[in-house]
Structure 1
Amino acid sequence: MLREGLAKAVDLVTEHNRLTLVVMVVVSAVVLAGIPMLDTASQAGADASAFEDIDRVQKANYVAANYDTSRNDSNRTVATVYVRQQEGDVLSKSSLLATLRYQQDIRANASVATVLHEDGIVDIANMVAVALVDDRNASIDEQIAALDRADPETVESQIESTLANNPQALRLLPAGHEPGETAATDRRLLVVLNATAGSATAGDAVDAALYDTAQAHSDSGLFVLNQFAYNAYNSHFFGEIVWLVLPAALVLILGVLAFTYRDLVDIVVGMTGVILSVLWMFGLLGWLGVSAGLVSIVPVVLVTGLSIDFGFHVFNRYREQRGVEEGIREPMNRGVKLVATALVLVTVTAAIGFLSNVVNPLGQIRDLGVSITLGVIASLLLFVTVVPALKISIDGLFERIGWSRRKRALGHGRFLRPILSRTVDLARRGAPVVLVVAIVVGSLGAAAWSDLDEESFQQPDGEVAEWKQQLPDPVGWEPHPVAEQLNHVQDVYQPATADDAIQERILLEGDVTANGTLTDLQAGVDTIEERGVLLEQPGVQSVTSPVTAMRAVAQRDPAFRAVFEADTRDTNGDGLPDRDLETVYDAFYEADSDIASRVLERTDGEYRSMLVRVTLDGGYADADETVADLEAGAARMDGGDRTATVVGSLAINVAVLDSIVGGILQTMALALAAIALTMAIAFRVMHGSATLGLVVAVPIALVLGLVIGGMYLLSIPLTLLTALLMSLVIGLGVDYNIHIGDRFADERREGKTAVQALEAAVTGTGGALLGSTLTSAGAFATIALVPHPQLQSFGSIVVIALLTAFLVSLLVLPSLLVLWERYSPEAVTLAPEETALPQD
Structure 2
Amino acid sequence: MISVDTLLETADSWIVDRPKTVVAIFLVLSVGFAGGLGNVSTDSGTSQFAEGIPAQEAFEEVNEQFVADPFAGDTGNTQVIYKSQNVLSKPSLLQLLTLQERIEAREDLRVSGQSSVATIIAQRLDPEATTIAAQQRAIESATPATLDRTIQQAAQTPGFTGLVSNDFNSQAASASATIASVQHNIPGGLSSSAGATGDSPLTSIQLTVEDVAQNTKGDFTVFGSGIISAELANVIGDSMAIVVPAAALLILIFLTFSYRDPVDLLLGIISLAMALLWTFGFMGLAGIAFSQMLIAVPVLLLAVGIDFGIHTVNRYREERVQDVAIRPAMRTATDQLLIAFFIVTGTTVIGFSANLISDLGPIRDFGMVAGIGMIFTFLIFGVFLPSLKILLDNLRQRLNIPSFGGAPIGSGDSYLIRFLMIGNWFAKRTPKAFLALVLVSSVAVGAYGTGVDTSFSNEDFLPPEENPDYVEALPEPFAPGEYTVTRTLNYLEDNFEASQGSSLTIYIEGPLRQADTLQQIHRASADPPPAVVSNNRRAQPDSIVSVITSRVEQDPEFARIVNQNDLNSDGIPDQNLERVYNYLLSSSSRSQALNYITEDYRSTRVVYSTEADATQGEITADGKELASKFRLDATATGQTLVFAAVSDVILSSAVQSLAAALAVTAVFLIAIYWVLERRPSLGLVNLVPILVTVVYIAGSMRFFGIPFNALTGTVLSIAVGLGIDYSAHIVHRFAEEYESADDIHQALERTVRGTGGALAGSMLTTTTGTGILALAITPVLGQFGLIIALAVFFSFLASVLITPSVAVLWEQATHRLS
Partner secondary structure for residue 190 of structure 1 = strand
Counterpart contact for 1:77–1:195, Cα < 8 Å:
yes
Deviates more, 1:756-765 or 1:195-204: 195-204
1:82 and 2:81 aligned: yes
Partner of 1:831: none
- Aligned-pair distance for 1:737? 0.8
Partner secondary structure for residue 824 of structure 1 = helix
Partner of 1:606: none
Tell me: CA distance 1:199–1:473, structure 2 relative to 1, closer, same or farther (3 Å).
closer
Deviates more, 1:769-778 or 1:173-182: 173-182
Deviates more, 1:777-786 or 1:267-276: 777-786
Partner of 1:412: 411
Which amino acid in the other structure matches residue 12 of structure 2? V
The root-mean-square deviation of aligned C-alpha atoms, in Å, is 5.0
Tell me: CA distance 1:827–1:372, structure 2 relative to 1, closer, same or farther (3 Å).
farther
CA distance in 2, matches of 1:3, 1:431: 35
CA distance in 1, matches of 2:481, 2:207: 24
Counterpart contact for 2:505–2:636, Cα < 8 Å:
yes
TM normalised by structure 2 equals 0.81
Partner of 2:488: 485
- Aligned-pair distance for 1:672? 0.7
- Deviation track 1:736-792 (CA, whole Å, cap 9, x = no partner) reads 111111011111123452112211222221111111211121122122123422212
Partner of 1:569: none
- Aligned-pair distance for 1:490? 3.8
- Aligned-pair distance for 1:254? 1.1
Which amino acid in the other structure matches residue 480 of structure 1? Y
Counterpart contact for 1:128–1:155, Cα < 8 Å:
no
Partner of 2:195: none
Tell me: CA distance 1:14–1:827, structure 2 relative to 1, closer, same or farther (3 Å).
farther
1:111 and 2:111 aligned: no
Counterpart contact for 1:14–1:389, Cα < 8 Å:
yes
Where do residues 124-143 of structure 1 align in structure 2 (5 Å cutoff)? 124=118
CA distance in 1, matches of 2:668, 2:749: 26
Counterpart contact for 1:42–1:291, Cα < 8 Å:
no
Counterpart contact for 1:44–1:362, Cα < 8 Å:
no
- Aligned-pair distance for 1:239? 4.4
Partner of 2:728: 738
CA distance in 2, matches of 1:91, 1:517: 36
Which amino acid in the other structure matches residue 189 of structure 1? A
- Deviation track 1:239-296 (CA, whole Å, cap 9, x = no partner) reads 4324432332222111111121122221110011111001111222233333333433
CA distance in 2, matches of 1:737, 1:537: 61
Deviates more, 1:420-429 or 1:485-494: 485-494
Where do residues 167-316 of structure 1 align in structure 2 (5 Å cutoff)? 167=155, 170-181=161-172, 184-191=175-182, 200=191, 206-217=205-216, 220-226=218-224, 229-230=227-228, 232-234=230-232, 236-316=234-314
Tell me: CA distance 1:786–1:196, structure 2 relative to 1, closer, same or farther (3 Å).
closer
Partner of 2:657: 667
Partner of 1:428: 428
Partner secondary structure for residue 170 of structure 2 = coil
Counterpart contact for 1:462–1:483, Cα < 8 Å:
yes
Partner of 1:832: none
Which of 677, 689, 693 aligns to 2:679? It is: 689
Tell me: CA distance 1:668–1:239, structure 2 relative to 1, closer, same or farther (3 Å).
closer
- Aligned-pair distance for 1:339? 0.9
Deviates more, 1:296-305 or 1:779-788: 779-788
Partner secondary structure for residue 526 of structure 1 = coil
1:622 and 2:615 aligned: yes
Tell me: CA distance 1:716–1:138, structure 2 relative to 1, closer, same or farther (3 Å).
closer
Which of 340, 351, 369 aligns to 1:342? It is: 340
Tell me: CA distance 1:137–1:478, structure 2 relative to 1, closer, same or farther (3 Å).
closer
Which amino acid in the other structure matches residue 33 of structure 1? G
Which of 359, 362, 380 aligns to 2:360? It is: 362
Partner secondary structure for residue 290 of structure 1 = coil
CA distance in 1, matches of 2:260, 2:273: 20
Tell me: CA distance 1:537–1:349, structure 2 relative to 1, closer, same or farther (3 Å).
same
Identity, in percent, stands at 26
1:780 and 2:778 aligned: no
Where do residues 452-471 of structure 1 align in structure 2 (5 Å cutoff)? 452-457=452-457, 458-459=459-460, 460=462, 461-471=464-474
Partner secondary structure for residue 773 of structure 1 = helix
Which of 28, 32, 39 aligns to 1:26? It is: 28
Which amino acid in the other structure matches residue 124 of structure 1? A
- Aligned-pair distance for 1:36? 2.7
- Deviation track 1:303-350 (CA, whole Å, cap 9, x = no partner) reads 111111111111111111224433322212211221110101111111
User: Size of the alignment, in residue pairs?
Assistant: 775
Partner secondary structure for residue 781 of structure 1 = helix
Which amino acid in the other structure matches residue 472 of structure 2? Q
- Aligned-pair distance for 1:196? 7.1
- Aligned-pair distance for 1:455? 1.9
CA distance in 2, matches of 1:49, 1:129: 41
Counterpart contact for 2:454–2:708, Cα < 8 Å:
yes
- Deviation track 1:26-46 (CA, whole Å, cap 9, x = no partner) reads 222223323333354459656
- Aligned-pair distance for 1:663? 4.5
Which amino acid in the other structure matches residue 769 of structure 2? A
CA distance in 1, matches of 2:80, 2:517: 44
CA distance in 1, matches of 2:579, 2:152: 42
- Aligned-pair distance for 1:680? 0.6
Could you list the runs of 5+ residues in structure 1 that have no partner in the other structure?
566-573, 577-583, 602-608, 829-840
Partner secondary structure for residue 351 of structure 1 = helix
- Deviation track 1:83-127 (CA, whole Å, cap 9, x = no partner) reads 246xx6656787666545544543443324xx445x666453996
Tell me: CA distance 1:264–1:183, structure 2 relative to 1, closer, same or farther (3 Å).
farther
Tell me: CA distance 1:32–1:530, structure 2 relative to 1, closer, same or farther (3 Å).
closer
Counterpart contact for 1:249–1:782, Cα < 8 Å:
yes
Partner secondary structure for residue 528 of structure 2 = helix
- Deviation track 1:11-30 (CA, whole Å, cap 9, x = no partner) reads 32112222221222122222
Counterpart contact for 1:504–1:650, Cα < 8 Å:
no
Partner secondary structure for residue 399 of structure 1 = helix
Which of 651, 666, 680 aligns to 1:676? It is: 666
Tell me: CA distance 1:390–1:19, structure 2 relative to 1, closer, same or farther (3 Å).
same
CA distance in 2, matches of 1:47, 1:467: 31
Counterpart contact for 2:493–2:499, Cα < 8 Å:
no
- Aligned-pair distance for 1:728? 1.9
Tell me: CA distance 1:328–1:826, structure 2 relative to 1, closer, same or farther (3 Å).
farther
Deviates more, 1:266-275 or 1:771-780: 771-780
- Aligned-pair distance for 1:686? 0.6
Deviates more, 1:396-405 or 1:735-744: 396-405
Counterpart contact for 1:249–1:779, Cα < 8 Å:
yes
Deviates more, 1:34-43 or 1:802-811: 34-43
- Aligned-pair distance for 1:806? 0.9
Which of 11, 36, 39 aligns to 1:37? It is: 39
Partner of 2:761: 771
TM normalised by structure 1 equals 0.79
CA distance in 2, matches of 1:666, 1:202: 38
CA distance in 2, matches of 1:505, 1:128: 31
- Aligned-pair distance for 1:481? 2.1
- Deviation track 1:771-830 (CA, whole Å, cap 9, x = no partner) reads 1211121122122123422212211221221111111111111110111122224999xx
Which amino acid in the other structure matches residue 502 of structure 1? S
- Aligned-pair distance for 1:403? 3.1
CA distance in 2, matches of 1:543, 1:89: 29
Tell me: CA distance 1:382–1:139, structure 2 relative to 1, closer, same or farther (3 Å).
closer
Tell me: CA distance 1:653–1:237, structure 2 relative to 1, closer, same or farther (3 Å).
closer
Partner secondary structure for residue 79 of structure 2 = strand
- Deviation track 1:195-245 (CA, whole Å, cap 9, x = no partner) reads 87997498566434312223445x843221235533552454344324432
Counterpart contact for 2:51–2:360, Cα < 8 Å:
no
